[in-house]
Chains A and B, each alone.
Chain A
Amino acid sequence: MEGRRAVSAPGGFEPAAGWCAREVEQELPELRVLGVEVQVGRRGPVTGASSREVTERLRELSNRFRGARAVGVRREPVPAAYRVFFHQIGLDPDILRTPIEAAVLERMLRGGFLSGGLLSDVLLIALIDTGVPVWALDSEAVDGPLGIRPSREGERLGRSPAAPALPSGRLVIADASSALAVLFGQTAPQHEPAPHTRRLTLFALQVPGVPALFVEEALWSCYAALERP
């Protein structure tokens, strides 16, 4: 494995590329995980209700995202790249929707992008703006740099003994000691941000066809919104 800094040092926005297991790097050379650590600026719970500014932004995005755009989203370069990548790693995007398509479908079914708390809203805004999904982990529960590797025989998703078991060979986001999230799937329950979490590790996946600028923009959007008091 190639060890590199997975998250930037706290105090500045410096997204850093994570490591990739050799077999992943050989097979999917353009796949990258980018991460950044952020100190939550607000005093209240990070999963609590969003500020008026954030909910207004969601409303504005809801108005901008109408039926015609929803249908055409799969043709836009960034969402299309994620669709292609899904096929290449054995996921069917018509069964397990890509994050942007899932968000758009929700928008159509519910009539708008509904607020689900500050963290969830911030991640959603970044996704809609850039097409790049961002996930968050509790930094306290992350051990060293993040990377991508296939899961090992008998491994669990997270460090808790009650964590769900993983079949071997699943592509996961991992730290130095355990798998933390399935690629485009479930995050280890014990490693998810809790309401009292003050430091978050944000990460995004750059797949072939997605410029690094979009991934950094998505991370920056989340970073800036969460850092704000």
Chain B
Amino acid sequence: MGPTQSEQLLIDREDGERAARESLRAQVARLERELSAIVADKFPFIRAPGPSAEACAGPCLMNLEQLERSRDRLAGRVWEFRRLAEERIEHERRAHELLEGMKLEPGRYKFARLPVKDLGQGGCGVWRVRPRLGLIGMLAGWWQVKLSSGCPLPRGLRPRRGPAEWR
């Protein structure tokens, strides 16, 4: 004899919930991968997400509601990080435009500074518009774009030694 109608309804409901949980787990996997990709691509310009407000209780078999909350929390993070990534892309695009402008018409961007970090590059270099030959260039309107050498030495400046120490 097969299951009664009420038993069949219960089985169908359990199957449905299991399928929903499976779908939620797949969504969680997709969101996590997207979040990790943003964090890894945009480091160090976008910082990795901090811990969420909800405490981490421990490993368990999550029910539908818990999985939904987990998915929503992750979706919120992904949304926020997508926005930060878009802002960063826009910031870098504007910085590239500025650098192009500085190179084409340095006279229009007198004393402008553009750190290479703003261009999405590593290091401490800074693009600067400076007068050629110092004061003469300033008076004559001779401007040029220069890239500074970058990061300070890891051990600081070379110590200055007095003549007595040379012996």
Interface residues of A (CB under 8 A from B): 23-24, 26-28, 71-72, 74-75, 80, 83-84, 87-92, 94-96, 150, 167, 169-171, 182-185, 209
Contact = CB atoms under 8 A, between A and B. Distances in A.
B135 interface: no
Contacts of A150: 60-61
Contacts of A28: 61
Contact of B32 (A71, A80, A182): A80
Interface in B28-77: 28-29, 32-33, 36-37, 39-40, 43-44, 48-52, 54-62, 66-67, 70, 74
A9 B151 CA distance: 58
A74 B37 CA distance: 8
Nearest to A29: B22
A74 B40 contact: yes
Contacts of A80: 32-33, 36
A167 B25 CA distance: 24
B59 A91 contact: yes
A87 B25 CA distance: 8
Given A88-B70, A169-B60, 10 more contacts: A27-B18, A72-B40, A75-B40, A80-B32, A84-B33, A88-B29, A90-B59, A90-B66, A94-B49, A171-B61
A95 B33 contact: no
14 contacts: A71-B43, A83-B32, A88-B29, A88-B62, A88-B67, A89-B62, A90-B58, A90-B62, A167-B58, A170-B58, A171-B59, A182-B59, A184-B59, A185-B59
Contact of B28 (A23, A26, A84, A171): A84
Given A72-B40, A75-B40, A87-B32, A92 B52 contact: yes
Q: By DSSP majority rule, is chain A's interface helix, strand, loop, or mixed?
A: mixed
Nearest to B73: A92
Contacts of A184: 59
**For chain B, which range describes its interface: under 10, 10 to 19, 20 to 34, or 35 or more residues?**
20 to 34
Q: Give the one of B39, B56, B74 with max A CB within 10 A.
A: B56
Contacts of A27: 18, 21, 61
A92 B60 contact: no
Nearest to B71: A87
Interface of B: 18, 21, 25, 28-29, 32-33, 36-37, 39-40, 43-44, 48-52, 54-62, 66-67, 70, 74
Given A74-B40, A83-B32, A91 B61 contact: no
A95 B74 contact: no
Contacts of B74: 87
A131 to B, nearest CB: 14
A74 B61 contact: no
Nearest to A170: B58
Contacts of A24: 61
A197 to B, nearest CB: 26
A72 B29 CA distance: 17
A94 B70 contact: no
B28 A88 contact: yes
A4 to B, nearest CB: 20
B3 to A, nearest CB: 18
B51 A94 contact: yes
A150 B28 CA distance: 22
Contacts of A96: 56
Contacts of B62: 88-90
Nearest to B22: A27
A156 to B, nearest CB: 15
Given A74-B39, A80-B32, A84-B28, A94 B48 contact: yes
